[in-house]
Amino acid sequence: MSQPLFRTPKGTHDVLPEDHQYMTYIKKAVRHRARQAGYRRIDTPMFENRGIFDRGIGEHTDVVEKELYLVKAARKEGEDDDNFALRPELTAGICRSYIEHGMQQLPQPVELYEIGPCFRHDRPQKGRFRQFHQFDFEIIGLKDPSLDAQLIYTAAKVLSDLKILDRLTLQINNIGTSEHRKAFTQALQDFFIDKERHLPDLDRSRLQTNPLRLLDSKEEDTQILLKGAPKLEQFLDDDSKKYHETVLEYLDALGLPTQANAGLVRGLDYYNQTVFEFWDKSTGAQNAVGGGGRYDGLLELLGGSPTPGVGCAFGMERVIWQMKEAGVQAPNKDHVDVFVAQLGPEAKKACLLLITELREQGVHTLGALGEASLKSQMRMADKFQARYTLLLGKMEAKEGTIILRDMAAGKQKQIKFEEAIPTVIKLLGKGTLDRYEMNDHFEDTDHD
Ligand code: HAM
């Protein structure tokens, strides 16, 4: 086989049909749970003014400082043409959209969900890609611990529908307000003044730019030093503590077990109060399947009026990996019911119409309308694993008959041509037909 001239860029991958089965299955679960809970679908652009990421996610976060892909137009037309970035996540864009479209005029809270690709110039490794897909839920415009609990519950229901919830733990923390964090980070920096040289390089620079990230550092030296350091919870006020307790109480009432994790801070700056992540029980933090939290200051940072929000997102590739590990099979709807084989110009025309009508009736039908011999067409039917083959040779075309072959049983019979469709439908069973009408059921089909 010749070497391909081009390959997917490093850290990206084609979503091949086999994986689309999983993608479709996940999207279905997300849409279903989102609809039940009143979320409405939104799609924001894949690239945005980079300012929303600088301001929203934070200039000194890894996601913005190191992982942002900048977008440049080949031919510059306006001021902003050099100022775009591929979205590394969906929250900032959704909040930008909420403000831009005056969604504060709608009944609050506004519940939105989005599914789509995100881009981070990360070091590719297992479960870490440069283009990946997220599904994301946001509740904007109202603050109450019950909303945090409801959001987490909806997400957990999706994971449970996909049969991976019991492989995960729900890690949860409260990181207080930005004032609490400011006081805490100052205390943390003071604590490290004479210990800085013992920190690994990356954490030493984080101590200056984003000290909170030290808490979830994977470096052993840092974790040992942190044992004697001030704790974030010492800086939280009573309101935050009460808020956290109430969220935990509600989650408990909803039957969702949680694991308190004082080191959980999340990698994006916009969070306050509740933060959480779903971790693999065996690998822990390394590949969080999803996470989120409250972001009551984000909309104001993006130019809106003060508006609270809470949300979360999940990496679809990581969800798929979990499903495969758990042995969950996504239903495959790409099977071939009928293969139509033909020989001769007359048969060819009749088969063209037969194929079209079978498809119209909801039968997955393939037909080789080339000039291949009947034998090689039968081989094709075999390769496509068709359940039945309809065979129209010159003779049958003249007689008004057709041969129906059951591929698994290896048996065939001659039937009247006009009976081909009803016979096939009867054999397949009406319930298996793949039909939809432009009515309510359309919602349930596999469009994106
Ligand atoms: P995040 O934790 O940065 O949060 O990303 C959410 C999920 O996206 C991760 O748990 C992971 O499954 C997946 N993910 C992130 N980076 C990669 C990557 N390089 N390769 C594969 N999967 C990845 C957010 O993005 C927030 N916007 C979540 C949120 C919504 N907070 C409030 N609302």
69-83 residue pLDDT tens = 999 888 877 766 778
The predicted model gives 253-268 an average pLDDT of: 93
Say if residue 442's pLDDT is above 70.
Answer: no
Q: Ligand 1 centre and the CA of 187: distance in Å? A: 29
pLDDT at 207: 87
Residue 32 Cα to ligand 1 middle (Å): 21
Statement: residue 326 has pLDDT above 60: yes
Does any ligand 1 atom lie closer than 6 A to the CB of residue 163?
Answer: no
Q: What is the pLDDT of residue 297?
A: 93
Ligand 1, atom 30, lies closest to the CA of: 312
Q: Which residue's CA is the nearest one to ligand 1's atom 29?
A: 312
Binning pLDDT at 50, 70 and 90, where does residue 28 land?
Answer: very high
Is ligand 1 within 6 A of the CB of residue 168? no
Question: How far away, in angstroms, is 152 Cα from ligand 1 center?
Answer: 15
The DSSP code sequence of 204-258 is HHHHHH-GGGGGG---HHHHHHHTTS--GGGG--HHHHHHHHHHHHHHHHTT---
Task: Check pocket membership of 272 for ligand 1, CB cut-off 6 A.
Answer: no
- Residue 277 Cα, ligand 1 centroid: separation in angstroms? 10
Mean pLDDT calculated for residue range 304-326: 97
Mean pLDDT of 54-79: 86
CA angle 158, 11, 205 (to 5 degrees): 95
Closest ligand 1 atom to residue 138 Cα is: 33
pLDDT above 70: percentage of residues in the chain: 96
Query: What is the rounded average pLDDT of the residues 4-8?
Result: 94
pLDDT value at residue 319: 97
Task: pLDDT band for 441, please (50, 70, 90 cuts).
Answer: low
Helices (H), 261-337: 298-301, 316-325
pLDDT value at residue 448: 57
Pocket test for ligand 1, best of 44, 61, 134 (most atoms within 8 A of CB): 134
Query: What single-letter amino acid sits at 136?
Result: D
Whether 444 has a pLDDT exceeding 70, the answer reads no
Q: Is pLDDT of 440 > 60?
A: no
Distances (CA, A) of 176 to 105, 212, 246, 267, 428: 28, 12, 14, 15, 59
Question: Which protein residue's CA is at the shortest distance from atom 2 of ligand 1?
Answer: 291
pTM of the model: 0.91
What percentage of the chain exceeds 90 in pLDDT? 73
pLDDT of 89-146, one tens digit each?
999 999 999 999 999 999 999 999 999 999 999 999 999 999 999 999 999 999 999 9
Asked if 140 and 307 touch (Cβ cutoff 8 Å), the reply is yes
pLDDT given for residue 103 in this prediction: 98
- pLDDT grade, residue 285 (50/70/90)? low
In a mutational test of the pocket of ligand 1, which residue from 132, 135, 140, 273 has the highest number of ligand atoms less than 8 Å from its CB?
132
Q: What are the residues facing 111 on neighbouring strands?
A: 139
The pLDDT mean for the chain works out to 92
Residue 439: what pLDDT?
A: 63
Cβ(56)–Cβ(301) under 8 Å? yes
Confidence of residue 438 (pLDDT cuts 50, 70, 90): low
Of 61, 111, 118, the one to substitute when testing ligand 1's pocket (max ligand atoms within 8 A of C-beta) is 118
Q: Establish whether residue 114 lines the binding site of ligand 1, counting it when its CB lies within 6 angstroms of any ligand atom.
A: no
Mean pLDDT confidence for 262-285 = 89
Least confident of 207-221, 243-257, 266-280, 310-324: 207-221
* Confidence label for 372 from pLDDT (cuts 50, 70 and 90): confident
Lowest mean pLDDT among 76-80, 269-273, 392-396: 76-80
Q: Which residue would you say has higher pLDDT here, 145 or 63?
A: 145
Distance from the alpha carbon of residue 91 to the mean position of ligand 1, in angstroms: 10
288 in contact with ligand 1, CB cutoff 6 A: yes
Going by their DSSP bridges, the two strands 309-315 and 338-342 should be labelled as unpaired
Segment 11-26, tens digit of pLDDT: 999 999 988 999 999 9
